[in-house]
Amino acid sequence: MAAGDTQFQLVTFQLGAELYGVNIMDVKEIVKTQSVRPIPHAPHYVEGIFNLRGEIIPVINLHKRFRLEKPASDEFDGEMSGLIILNLDGIKISIIIDRISRVVMINSSDVKPPPQMLTGIGSEYILGVVQQANAYLIVLDIRKLFDPKELQKLISTQN
């Protein structure tokens, strides 16, 4: 983000104990968890694919991508979990989330470089963090999370 005080909206969600956000402009929709078909020889973080109204969409497990713990079943609210469908320059992918949170308006000047303690998930995937009341909102750079050629290959082998 450029310096200055432009505003943008983030769709926020929980993965384990952390709160993450992605730019609302990259979000197509949020759907309930679907029946996912595994893909042979896919990267470890690809759960598989599912059919959404005739479109084949890969399902990415960010717990595996970031090597995060799954929440304990008593902390897990199945009603709030699901898939966020992202549109990355014409390629649709979905990410599994533990709990959808809300849409928040952020000033670009509030996005700071991630603290050292967060670099465990791979600082190259983090656009920055926004300090909230007593926690950080981690802003993901979704274009760096996925290799578009790899995703396109996954989709094309299933059609």
Q: How far apart are CA 6 and CA 24, in angstroms?
A: 15
**12 forms bridges with which residues in the sheet?**
21
| pTM for this model (two decimals) | 0.83
Among 106, 105, 137, which Cα is nearest to 15's? Answer: 137
Query: What is the residue type of 18?
Result: E
- pLDDT of the residue at 1: 42
How far is CA 52 from its chain centroid?
Answer: 18
Among 128, 158, 156, 154, which Cα is nearest to 45's? Answer: 154
Q: How far apart are CA 94 and CA 50, in angstroms?
A: 9
Is residue 137 within 8 Å of 44, Cβ to Cβ?
no
Is residue 95 within 8 Å of 34, Cβ to Cβ?
no
User: Tens-of-pLDDT digits for all 159 residues of the chain?
Assistant: 444 579 999 999 999 888 999 999 999 999 998 889 998 888 888 899 999 999 999 999 988 888 777 666 555 455 678 999 999 888 899 999 999 999 999 999 999 987 766 545 667 788 899 988 888 899 998 888 776 676 666 666 555
Among 50, 85, 65, which Cα is nearest to 144's? Answer: 65
- pLDDT of the residue at 154: 63
